[in-house]
Amino acid sequence: MKRGHSGQPERSGSVGAGQRLGVAGRLSAGVLAAFVVIALGASLGLWGADYHGFVADPYAPPGAGLWLGADALGRDLGARVLQGAQVSLAVGLGGALLTLATGGVLGALAGFRGGLVDRLLVALTDAVAAIPPLIALLGGALILGPGVASVIVIIGLSQWTGLFRSVRAEARRLAGADFVRAAEAMGATSLHQLRVHLLPHLAPLLLTSAVLYFVHAIKVEALLAFFGQSSQELPSWGGLLAECGSELARGIWWPVLGASLPLALLVLAAQVVADRLSDAS
Amino acid sequence: MDPGYPGSVGRSAPLGRVLSSIVTVVLVVVIVFGIVDALVDPAAVALGQGAAPGEVERLRAAWGLDRPWTTRLGELVVGLASFDLGVSRVQQAPVSSLIGQAFAPTLAYALPGMLLATSLGIGGGLAAARRVGGAVDRALTGVATALMSTSSLILVIVGHQLLAHRWGLFSLVGWPLVGAERGLWTLVGLALLPALLWALVQVGPDLRHYRSVFVRELGEPYLDGLRSRGIAEGRVLRHALRGASAPILARIAGRLPHLVVGSLVIDQVFNIPGVGGLAITALRTGDLALCEGLAVVLAIITIAGQLLLDLAAAAIDPRLRAGGRR
């Protein structure tokens, strides 16, 4: 974002990303980075490599050897929790990018073009938004079958309507702006307009939305994993909650804690970053 | 129903809104039945990925899917016009009656839960917005952000396991409610914990949303005008509440798709035979017809509800009558 966001008189001069995030935001960004390191290390086999071996008694409590105890089948719970970070981050990133691609492109197109294209796309969005999101998610899972890739596609193709509306509104505002109309009068092509005039001004909105959709995608993944629709090979936090959640009343707290603490922490960190970004922009 | 504006500008906005709702319904039907049926073979979905090719063909013939698409489209339109959504081939029952039965259990907990969360959200949002950055604001926003970041899975599982199972604060047995001869208080007792958990899931994002609505509304100069005339703060806030009625109703309208499905997790964990539970059954049994029926029926109910809320917003806020949507 080299260009400052126009029409913001109270914020003068260029402010660095760190300053915009503030203390809580920088702390949260650090937490996000730690999750990325955990996921990368787990995928490279640096830690948590033995997540499918039966190494202990079922529901062995945390203690020597197994720092987070064992799950229902006696597998190393700590290793499974570390591996679960991969699935959450992959779906979070993939889902956010695909949502951004569908909602952002369609929204920019509708807002910038206007006319018939705009009317058709708005009608389409109204229809997609009217289908309850949970039903769309389950229907998508039914059609595409379980797996990380299908979860990403389902999220990207069904959850874009909110982004469409905000991008469309912003693009509409920009399409009427003087500098855009001046460029149009000078014969600028649509692609040039999009790249030079629209994208830099949409960037703050898109960045904040990307983080929000990252949060949303992680929550949706946990939900779909709870119903057995996410990754079939790697462990996932939602799947862990489905396996072991009903044991909490018997006093077996470690699987629930192991799955919910990282899930809540990851979502909270991303949410705080998104809040700071939207406050700043 | 409008008091009648000079030039009757006000009449055309609701009419346009009704028409656009009808267009949306038609588009939903096209998207769900048209595109899904064109892209997906229900027989293959029902049999799963390991099905033999001959078996799929046999099932397609048995279900009449091998007939030309024009015939099937005609059947579909006739069926929809008479509120017939077809038969769930997996459950051997009409889709409409399956969905109809599922509504009562869902609304039994989702409606009170949503009312509770909405009132808490509005009250909390107003309290937080009165002094932005103050102690109340920071505390409420912090709690709301924490609740919002806790996946509904965690809230529902932990709440169900600890509050009901371990500590026995709430009754657990008794679902299904429908058809059981029970007193009203038993029903209230059974729906209480699901409703509270629903409210807990919803109140975080709602409070933050209403806070931002009221931050904007409380900055309006008309409130200072009221205060300068010596009107008590409580009455000034009532004016702010009415001024913010349009975004509040829009938020409730946005919540309707969630309300009609209920919560998948609550249905699953509490074993409630609601709409969410029905959708999960459809997923587990590969029941595409039921899934399509759910999508269309729930979308139509959502659109109708949103239309009513839009008209209500226009009735409350005269600014919305003349110009259509704000």
Burial of B162 (0-12, 13-18, 19+ CB in 10 A): middle
By CA distance, what is B281's nearest residue in A?
A: A138
Give me the residue from A127, A260, A271 closest to B24, CB to CB. Answer: A127
CA-nearest of A230, A236, A224, A217 to A86 is: A236
Shortest Cα–Cα distance, B190 to chain A (Å): 19
Whether B130 is in a domain gets the answer yes
| Residue carrying the six token digits 């920009």 | A174
CA-nearest of B2, B24, B314 to A124 is: B24
- CATH assignment at residue A133: 1.10.3720.10
- 8 Å CB contact between B48 and B286: yes
Residue B196 has a pLDDT of 94
* pTM, 2 dp: 0.87
Distance separating alpha carbons of residues A140 and A138, to the nearest angstrom: 5
Asked whether the beta carbons of residue B151 and residue A223 sit closer than 8 angstroms, the reply is: yes
- 8 Å CB contact between A87 and A234: yes
Chain B positions in Cβ-Cβ contact with residue A249 (cut-off 8 Å): 161-162, 165-166
B110 touches chain A (CB under 8 A): no
- Among A66-80, A133-147, B33-47, B211-225, the range scoring the smallest mean pLDDT is B33-47
Whether B133 is in a domain gets the answer yes
A134 touches chain B (CB under 8 A): yes
Shortest Cα–Cα distance, A188 to chain B (Å): 33
Residue A85 has a pLDDT of 94
**Coil, strand, or helix at residue A11?**
coil
Whether A123 is in a domain gets the answer yes
- pLDDT band per the 50, 70, 90 thresholds, residue B221: very high
Distance separating alpha carbons of residues A22 and A40, to the nearest angstrom: 27
B130 touches chain A (CB under 8 A): no
Q: Residues B291-299: what's their mean pLDDT?
A: 89
Burial of B315 (0-12, 13-18, 19+ CB in 10 A): middle
Give me the residue from B151, B165, B279 closest to A135, CB to CB. Answer: B279
A61 touches chain B (CB under 8 A): no
Asked whether the beta carbons of residue B299 and residue A132 sit closer than 8 angstroms, the reply is: yes
Which is it for strands B93-94 and B87-88: parallel, antiparallel or unpaired?
antiparallel
Distance separating alpha carbons of residues B85 and B150, to the nearest angstrom: 37
Across all residues in chain A, what is the average pLDDT?
Answer: 87
Distance separating alpha carbons of residues B270 and B160, to the nearest angstrom: 8
- φ, ψ (nearest 5 deg) of residue A75: -90, 155
Shortest Cα–Cα distance, B277 to chain A (Å): 11
B201 lies in which domain range?
99-321
Chain A positions in Cβ-Cβ contact with residue B294 (cut-off 8 Å): 135, 139
Q: Residues B114-126: what's their mean pLDDT?
A: 96
Shortest Cα–Cα distance, B267 to chain A (Å): 12
Between chain A and chain B, the number of residue pairs with CB atoms below 8 A apart is: 145
CA B69 to chain centre: 33
In this structure, the number of other CB atoms found within 10 A of the CB of residue A201 comes to: 20
Chain B positions in Cβ-Cβ contact with residue A227 (cut-off 8 Å): 264, 268, 280, 283
Give pLDDT tens digits for A6-52: 433 334 344 455 567 889 999 999 999 999 999 999 999 888 888 88
Q: Residues B64-89: what's their mean pLDDT?
A: 76
Tokens of B47: 């049999």
- 8 Å CB contact between B202 and B114: yes
Give pLDDT tens digits for A113-164: 889 999 999 999 999 999 999 999 999 998 888 999 999 999 999 999 999 9
- CATH assignment at residue B272: 1.10.3720.10
A residues 63-82 near B, CB within 8 Å?
none
Distance separating alpha carbons of residues B282 and B203, to the nearest angstrom: 29
Chain A positions in Cβ-Cβ contact with residue B158 (cut-off 8 Å): 248, 256, 260
How many angstroms separate the first and last alpha carbons of chain B?
20
Chain B positions in Cβ-Cβ contact with residue A256 (cut-off 8 Å): 154, 157-158, 161
Shortest Cα–Cα distance, B41 to chain A (Å): 9
- Among A126-140, B10-24, B296-310, the range scoring the smallest mean pLDDT is B10-24
Distance separating alpha carbons of residues B120 and B41, to the nearest angstrom: 46
Interface mutation vs chain B, best among A35, A126, A134, most B CBs within 10 Å: A134
Query: Does B247 sit behind a cis peptide bond, omega within 30 degrees of 0 on the bond before it?
Result: no
Write the ipTM: 0.84
Residue B182 has a pLDDT of 59
B148 touches chain A (CB under 8 A): yes
- 8 Å CB contact between A124 and A64: no
CA A30 to chain centre: 17
Whether B87 is in a domain gets the answer no
A231 lies in which domain range?
50-248+263-273
Whether B63 is in a domain gets the answer no
Distance separating alpha carbons of residues A25 and A34, to the nearest angstrom: 14
Distance separating alpha carbons of residues B173 and A100, to the nearest angstrom: 44
- Among A263-277, B9-23, B95-109, the range scoring the smallest mean pLDDT is B9-23
Residue B322 has a pLDDT of 59
Task: Rank A222-236, B202-216, B238-252, B267-281 by mean pLDDT and report only the highest.
Answer: B202-216
Asked whether the beta carbons of residue A130 and residue B282 sit closer than 8 angstroms, the reply is: no
Burial of B81 (0-12, 13-18, 19+ CB in 10 A): exposed
| Count of domains observed in chain A | 1
Residue B5 has a pLDDT of 37
Q: How far is CA B296 from CA A69, B84, B104, B119, B250, in A?
A: 46, 12, 18, 30, 22
Across all residues in chain B, what is the average pLDDT?
Answer: 83
**Coil, strand, or helix at residue B82?**
coil
Shortest Cα–Cα distance, A135 to chain B (Å): 6
| Residue carrying the six token digits 């209500």 | B312
Chain B positions in Cβ-Cβ contact with residue A239 (cut-off 8 Å): none
Whether A20 is in a domain gets the answer no
**Residue A236 CA neighbour count, 13 Å, CB half:** 29
Distance separating alpha carbons of residues A27 and A208, to the nearest angstrom: 17
Residue B45 has a pLDDT of 76
- pLDDT band per the 50, 70, 90 thresholds, residue B8: very low
Whether A173 is in a domain gets the answer yes
| Count of domains observed in chain B | 1
Shortest Cα–Cα distance, A12 to chain B (Å): 22
Distance separating alpha carbons of residues A36 and A88, to the nearest angstrom: 10
Distance separating alpha carbons of residues B249 and B117, to the nearest angstrom: 14
Residue B173 has a pLDDT of 55
State the DSSP code for B144.
H
B118 touches chain A (CB under 8 A): no
Tokens of A145: 């079958």
Asked whether the beta carbons of residue A249 and residue B161 sit closer than 8 angstroms, the reply is: yes
Tokens of A218: 């992680």
| Residue carrying the six token digits 């960037």 | A203
Beta bridge partners of B88: B93
Distance separating alpha carbons of residues A248 and B166, to the nearest angstrom: 8
B115 touches chain A (CB under 8 A): no
Give me the residue from B258, B269, B283 closest to A138, CB to CB. Answer: B283
**Coil, strand, or helix at residue B179?**
coil
Give me the residue from B146, B282, B291 closest to A268, CB to CB. Answer: B146
Burial of B86 (0-12, 13-18, 19+ CB in 10 A): middle
B residues 250-269 near A, CB within 8 Å?
257-258, 260-261, 264-265, 268-269
Whether B35 is in a domain gets the answer no
- pLDDT band per the 50, 70, 90 thresholds, residue A106: very high
Q: Residues A48-62: what's their mean pLDDT?
A: 84
Portion of chain B with pLDDT greater than 70, in percent:
89
- Among A9-18, A255-264, B44-53, B259-268, the range scoring the smallest mean pLDDT is A9-18
Selected residue with higher pLDDT from A267 and B187 = A267
Query: Does B194 sit behind a cis peptide bond, omega within 30 degrees of 0 on the bond before it?
Result: no
Task: Rank A51-60, B111-120, B271-280 by mean pLDDT and report only the highest.
Answer: B111-120
Asked whether the beta carbons of residue A241 and residue B149 sit closer than 8 angstroms, the reply is: no
A residues 208-227 near B, CB within 8 Å?
215, 219, 222-223, 226-227
A135 touches chain B (CB under 8 A): yes
Between vectors from CA A208 to CA A204 and to CA A214, what angle results, nearest 5°? 145
A272 touches chain B (CB under 8 A): yes
